[in-house]
Amino acid sequence: MTTDIDRALEQAQAQYESIKAMVERLEHARGCNAEDWDNCNLDERLADGLAGLDTFIEYHDEDDAQQAIQEDPLSVEVRSGWTTLDYTLEASEFQILLCTGGPAVRIMGELDDDFEPCRAWLEFQDWGTPWTQYIGSYMDDATKQHTLLAYCREFYFGG
Ligand SMILES: [Zn+2]
């Protein structure tokens, strides 16, 4: 039997996989100098699903890869930390809403002094349940952190 929590977890994992694919594409597009699939060192499984020169050019278009990330979330919001009355409020945390309803998934994170994301994590929620941090069990934290931060850094948070 599939419970609501299972469904929410699956949704969080699906969102993470989608983020990972977009980040991998962007990082690959930035680093690859190949002119066709034969000279591109892309993972075979992925390359198989993306055959043809047209898709090669599209996949390697850096602007396109960046735009795919920027158009992905439903909303991007910030909030400030505690600030004394004589200081101006500045963004110190962010929330990127990826999908909503039951289940909903979002990225939460913190900004450094230059308004760049420095820490990020995924949370999921189903109707009537609190937001819960998503911990994927199949990869180490460093990889997940790198992927989430690379995604979040494609957004402008101020400064
Ligand atoms: Zn390539």
Q: Is the pLDDT of residue 8 over 80?
A: yes
pLDDT reported for residue 73: 98
Distance between Cα 29 and ligand 1 center (Å): 6
Looking at this protein, which amino acid is placed at residue 42?
A: L
Distance between Cα 54 and ligand 1 center (Å): 13
- Please state whether the predicted TM-score (pTM) of the whole model is above 0.75: yes
Distance between Cα 59 and ligand 1 center (Å): 8
For 76-126, write each residue's pLDDT tens digit. Answer: 999 999 999 999 999 999 999 999 987 999 999 999 999 999 999 999 998
Distance between Cα 115 and ligand 1 center (Å): 31
Distance between Cα 81 and ligand 1 center (Å): 41
pLDDT reported for residue 46: 67
Contacts of 96 (CB under 8 A, 6+ apart): 73, 75, 76, 77, 106, 107, 109, 152, 155
Distance between Cα 41 and ligand 1 center (Å): 6
For 9-52, write each residue's pLDDT tens digit. Answer: 899 999 999 999 999 999 999 999 998 888 888 866 666 677 77
Q: Is the pLDDT of residue 2 over 90?
A: no
Mean pLDDT of the chain: 89
Region 117-137: mean pLDDT is: 88
Distance between Cα 16 and ligand 1 center (Å): 22
Distance between Cα 150 and ligand 1 center (Å): 19
pLDDT reported for residue 1: 55
HSE value, Cβ hemisphere, 13 Å, CA-based, for 82:
0
Distance between Cα 34 and ligand 1 center (Å): 5
Rounded Cα distance between 132 and 37, Å, is 41
Distance between Cα 35 and ligand 1 center (Å): 8
For 53-70, write each residue's pLDDT tens digit. Answer: 788 899 999 999 999 999
Helix (H, G, I), strand (E, B) or coil at 106: strand
Helix (H, G, I), strand (E, B) or coil at 88: coil
